[in-house]
Amino acid sequence: MGAIPSEGDSEQVIFRQYLDAVGLQGLASAEAAGLHTSEWYALSLIAFHGTLSSGELATRTGLTTGATTRLIDRLERAGFARRTADPDDRRRVIVEPVPDALGRIEEVVGPARRHVAEVLAHYTPEQRALLFDYFARAAPAFRAATEEIRARAAGNRRGRTRKTAPPE
């Protein structure tokens, strides 16, 4: 017979199920839009910010500049984004969303928005304020964790590529 989870374990299970559900919804949304998850995330960034330089997009996604160029190519071919020249620096490429294509994204995320709105409707304004305070604080925490994970992974990749001296 398994151990009865403690209150802390129960919270961890609930939080893990929540994160998994959010991740799964993101995967399903990307698939429904005909995009890979990295393209879905990049399009979300572009739509949120309105425009990003290709360098800013590379930094925010954690991709190399070459991988970012290929990602932008795929978003352009799919009709979701376009490149324009920066009016202040013609050497710099700006990526912007294609407004007509964003309607297709709204259709994809509509079910998630509707279901989450139904959940939020069960909370008082004070409780929603607390939830949104959590979201506002948790988003930067997840971004910081992402940077730590990427830095550690990059360090591990560099360590594997180095030859080590044979033991004496």
Whole-prediction pTM: 0.79
| Annotation: CATH topology of 18-101 | Arc Repressor Mutant, subunit A (1.10.10)
Q: Which of 13-17, 101-105, 111-115 has the lowest mean pLDDT?
A: 101-105
CA 27 vs CA 37, 69, 105: distances in Å: 6, 22, 13
Report residue 8's pLDDT band, with 50, 70 and 90 as the boundaries: low
Whether the CB-CB separation of 95 and 86 falls below 8 Å is answered with: no
Per-residue pLDDT reduced to its tens digit, 80-91: 999 998 888 888
